[in-house]
């Protein structure tokens, strides 16, 4: 029988595409929710729920997933430390796939970024991440940029928090810190999503860029994750697990 997929944020840019991709994948649409709706109703009627809404909605959606035993696919970006902790806690009781970016190419990019960072000494190669998105995006840096920063830090045997983030440089910002990870966020027009990771040394630069031209790539990936997560044990999964890259 076709799995029934619920969609939180059905009225949003991603919500509308997700509904189309649920149908295209041969799954059934279990209903959608909008801001202000009780998430318990959506979760109770679905085999799995996809949430591309807002960071602040993530804890309530994770709690509804636990209360109903319904797996959650979480794509919202800009979660605070506390919001991510609430999601991780819920994932002890129900399977959750939480990904900053559901595009396959980006997940390969994350793996390559980690390997590059492991090979390039932080004392010589400054890591800078530049992203550009449409003018409506409300959080910065993007979730994908943060995930790239985390991948670089992991490759260097540390964490993003320990390495230190440098973002929003303006005015007398001082010299760049050695080993820190820099972020720059551009906003304009209708750019779907562009991310560049630069390793800059005194005598050479290496950069890697990913561009999304159609946000449907995220919706297709999220529906794939929804089909994959059914029957999985409780845990916090990433897109690399769905893609078999874990
Ligand atoms: N992981 C990934 O691959 C991707 C992640 N994203 C992320 O997904 C999120 C949504 O992006 P996008 O669709 O472009 O944004 P939109 O603003 O177009 O859509 C978000 C929708 O969610 C609704 N909403 C907000 N809070 C709730 C809630 N508590 N319950 C139900 N619905 C709610 C909003 O309603 P209202 O209009 O009333 O506020 C809106 O319709 C962002 O965080 C974005 O960064 C986007 C693309 C890819
Ligand atoms: O808001 C968006 O549009 C996107 N958000 C995600 C992010 O913050 O990384 C993924 C993608 O870049 C599009």
pLDDT tens, position by position, 198-245: 999 999 999 999 999 999 999 999 999 999 999 999 999 999 999 999
Q: How far is CA 104 from CA 7, 99, 161, 238, in A?
A: 21, 11, 26, 12
Per-residue pLDDT tens digits for 179-201: 999 999 999 999 999 999 999 99
Q: How far apart, in whole angstroms, are the C-alpha atoms of residue 52 and residue 211?
A: 20
Predicted confidence (pLDDT) at residue 246 exceeds the cutoff of 90: no
Q: Are 90 and 40 part of one and the same domain?
A: yes
16 is catalytic: no
State the CB neighbour count (10 A cutoff) for residue 168: 11
Q: Are 174 and 120 part of one and the same domain?
A: yes
Q: Are 188 and 225 part of one and the same domain?
A: no
Q: Are 10 and 96 part of one and the same domain?
A: yes
Nearest-CA residue for ligand 1 atom 27 is 35
Q: Are 122 and 162 part of one and the same domain?
A: yes
Number of domains in the chain: 2
From 6, 10, 32, 34, the mutation candidate for ligand 1 (largest count of ligand atoms within 8 A of CB) is: 34
Domain that holds residue 197: 104-212
Q: Are 225 and 194 part of one and the same domain?
A: no
**Residue (of 129, 146, 154) closest to 207 by Cα position:** 129
What's the predicted TM-score (pTM) here?
0.98
Q: Are 71 and 143 part of one and the same domain?
A: no
Per-residue pLDDT tens digits for 71-86: 999 999 999 999 999 9
Task: Quote the strand ranges of the chain, DSSP E.
Answer: 4-8, 28-33, 48-51, 72-74, 95-98, 126-133, 165-167, 181-187, 193-200, 205-212, 235-237
The annotation status of 188 as a binding-site residue, yes or no, is: no
Average pLDDT value over all residues in the chain: 98
ipTM over 0.85: yes
Q: Are 228 and 142 part of one and the same domain?
A: no
Q: Are 147 and 157 part of one and the same domain?
A: yes
CATH number assigned to the domain comprising residue 237: 3.40.50.720
Q: Are 96 and 48 part of one and the same domain?
A: yes
């Amino acid at each position: 029988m076709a799995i029934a997929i619920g969609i939180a944020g059905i009225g949003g840019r991603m919500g509308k595409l997700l509904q189309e991709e649920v149908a295209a994948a041969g799954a059934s649409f279990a209903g959608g929710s909008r801001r202000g709706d009780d998430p318990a109703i959506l979760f109770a009627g679905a085999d799995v729920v996809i949430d591309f809404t807002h960071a602040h909605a993530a804890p309530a959606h994770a709690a509804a997933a636990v209360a109903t035993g319904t797996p959650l696919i979480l794509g919202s970006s800009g979660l605070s430390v506390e919001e991510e902790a609430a999601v991780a806690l819920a994932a002890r009781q129900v399977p959750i796939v939480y990904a900053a970016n559901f595009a396959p190419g980006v997940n390969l990019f994350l793996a390559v970024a980690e390997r590059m960072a492991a090979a390039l000494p932080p004392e010589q190669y400054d890591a800078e991440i530049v992203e550009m998105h449409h003018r409506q995006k409300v959080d910065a840096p993007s979730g994908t940029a943060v995930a790239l920063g985390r991948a670089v830090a992991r490759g260097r045997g540390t964490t993003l928090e320990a390495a230190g983030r440098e973002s929003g440089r303006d005015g007398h910002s001082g010299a760049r810190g050695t080993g820190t990870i820099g972020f720059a966020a551009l906003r304009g027009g209708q750019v779907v999503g562009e991310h560049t990771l630069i390793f800059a040394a005194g005598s050479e630069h290496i950069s890697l860029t990913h561009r999304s031209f159609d946000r449907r790539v995220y919706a297709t990936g999220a529906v794939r994750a929804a089909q994959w997560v059914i029957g999985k044990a409780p845990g916090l999964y990433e897109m690399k697990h769905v893609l078999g890259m874990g």
